[in-house]
Structure 1
Amino acid sequence: MRQADAVAARWEHGAAGEAATARLLAPLSRAGWHIRHDLRLSGRRFNVDHVLVSPCGTAVVVADTKTWHRGRPTMLIGGRVHCGDDRHDQVEAVARYARLVEAALDLPPGVVVVPLIVVHGSPVAPGGLEVPVSGGTVWVLGAGEVVPRLQQAVQALPDRHRAQALDARVTAVLSPYR
């Protein structure tokens, strides 16, 4: 019974963090971003917390929400992400999810997939962390850094038709997680 209660508490804690991230990301839709929450790939057990398509249609952001210990900073130690203890396996998992999403989307040339961890609670260094992992880099950002970083990252002019086509592909490939 205690184990079931602990699992339920973790799910509730995670759901609250994901809802906070969804509220945080919502203003990006007014800037042309297409945003989806709580998705899955067919045949896979994991869920993708948030998927964003840039207004220029050249980037897909695969974002995972983490609510880590408020009293411990998130930092790199020896090239691994720590928040009190080693969290690097979670960073590697987000990179894997992003690669699987990228493969499933079968993206046209010039479209990149960016794995992102949004950290609530634990302070992350200003500007966030760019963490090297096998196959690329994962952005680890404090909640307050996410929107400015995404806005800054998009340098291309908005292309509504390209963004809509990419968003339609995301919608066709990823389904709501139940």
Structure 2
Amino acid sequence: MSAAGGSTSREAARLHAQARRGWWRTVLRWCGINANDRRLEAAAIRQEQGSLGEQQTAALLRRLPAGWTVFHDLAVPGRRFNLDHVLIPPSGTGVIVLDSKKWRRSYQGRPCPTTLVHGRVHCGPQDRHQQIVNFAGYVSGTAAVLGVPAGMLMPVIVVHGSPVAGGGRLDVRVPEWERTVHVLSADRLVSTLAGMPGGRGPVQPAAAALTARVRQTLPQYGSAA
């Protein structure tokens, strides 16, 4: 099993290398006039932050009760996205698709809480709702590839850094998903998952079957087809 954050870490390294490649780019960067390289470096930093968030989530998931199956950094065949984490509870009643976000705790001296503003997710003053919508689409696409009803998948976003309003949990409705997308603070993640129906107890045959289906259908991201 690959480590959490592996694909985002590799993408960050690629972007850094692309920004720094070539003698003329080095001269322009030294002069401070290469805007494209600055954009590449900024994108690399975002990827690095994303990788750090995935690693922090992986560390939290190791605290789940016995019986949980956890996958990191999976590809979805035929789709242009990867999944940060996929979890199967001991009951086998469904699949949790978990996305890690590393958002600002503060910006320019002001706190950046994660809140709902007119039904849209914001981090401080920034509207981040499109990320929620995109993620709902990814989960829907994953259900189709797995060949299971969409209702069997539970989309969860865990936020590191930015404190999440509502006691650390927001339930967000998006048109692209038939239920809610759950947005959790990092400190609520393990207790929420372990406390869900079927989150504790012996591993049921349904869990083993779902685990086998995920292994057979969703390869490690970046592995050979």
Shared fold, TM over 0.5 = yes
> What are the residue-to-residue correspondences of 1:1-178 with 2, within 5 Å?
1-28=37-64, 30-71=65-106, 72-84=112-124, 85-107=126-148, 112-125=152-165, 126-134=167-175, 135=177, 136-155=179-198, 158-178=202-222
CA displacement 1:126-159 (0-9 Å, x = unmatched)? 1400001112210000000011111111247544
Higher gyration radius (CA): 2
In structure 1, stretches of 5+ residues that fail to align are none
User: Structure 2 length as normaliser, TM-score?
Assistant: 0.74
Task: Report the Cα distance in structure 2 between the residues aligned to 1:24 and 1:40, rounded to whole angstroms.
Answer: 22
User: What amino acid sits opposite 1:45 in the alignment?
Assistant: R
Report how many residues are paired: 176
Work out the CA distance in 1 between the residues paired with 2:114 and 2:40.
Answer: 28
Secondary structure of 2:87 counterpart: strand
- What residue identity is the alignment partner of 2:52? A
Equivalent residue number for residue 32 of structure 2: none
TM-score (norm 1): 0.92
Inter-partner Cα distance in structure 1 for 2:174 and 2:132: 8
| Aligned-residue identity in percent | 48
Matches of 2:168 and 2:40, distance apart in 1: 38
The separation in 2 between residues aligned to 1:42 and 1:105, in whole angstroms, is: 10
Q: Secondary structure at the match of 1:175?
A: coil
Q: CA deviation at 1:31?
A: 2.0
Gapped runs of 5+ residues in structure 2?
1-36, 107-111
Please list the CA deviations of residues 70-89 of structure 1 after superposition, one character each: whole Å capped at 9, or x if unmatched: 02100101000000211110
* Deviation >4 Å, runs of 4+: none
Instruction: Measure, in 2, the Cα distance between the counterparts of 1:176 and 1:155.
Output: 26
Equivalent AA in structure 1 for residue 135 of structure 2: V
Q: Is the 8 A contact 2:93 2:198 kept in 1?
A: no
Q: How many angstroms does 1:105 deviate by?
A: 1.2
Counterpart residue type for residue 90 of structure 2: P
Offset at residue 2 of structure 1 (A): 1.7
Larger strand percent:
1
